[in-house]
Each structure stands twice: as structure tokens, then as C-alpha cells.
Amino acid sequence: MVNLLSVVQVALSVVVIFLVLMHSGKDAGLSGAFGVGTGAGPFGGGSLVERNLNRWTVGFAIAFVLNTIVLLKL
């Protein structure tokens, strides 16, 4: 059980890192390379994509924290 949760923890951490790097900051960051924050990408406007990116980031971050708590309790 602990081994499975450890593998899930590693996968969640990689996904959270990737999602955080996708956010645009003061400069374009990695999201500029994929056209997330520019509004000229294949998704049309950037606002819907940014909102969905925020939702995914928060969801995976919550899953990461909950998995960490479960691993600490075991």
C-alpha cells in the first residue's frame, strides 16, 4: 500500500510541477511556448484556458497534499 502511494506521490509531484510551470507570470514562462496565455493560440482566447489550468492546478495540489497526509499517517 505504501509503495503504491509513493508512486502516486511521485506522479502527482511531477504533474503539479508541470502545471505550475504552465502558468504565465510576469514574463511568458513556459506557457508562452505553448500559447496558453497569449490569446493567439489554437484555443482562441486565453481566459478559459487559464481558468481551466487554475482548476487543474488546484485539484492536483489538493490531491498531492491529501496523499502526503495519508503517507505520513501510515
More confident position, 36 or 54: 54
- pTM (2 d.p.): 0.72
Task: Assess contact for 58 and 23: CB atoms under 8 A.
Answer: no
- Report the C-alpha gap between 52 and 23 in whole angstroms: 11
- Report the C-alpha gap between 2 and 61 in whole angstroms: 20
Site of grid cell 496523499: 67
Quickly state the pLDDT bin for 33 (edges 50, 70, 90): low
Task: Assess contact for 71 and 5: CB atoms under 8 A.
Answer: yes
More confident position, 50 or 42: 50
Task: Assess contact for 62 and 54: CB atoms under 8 A.
Answer: no
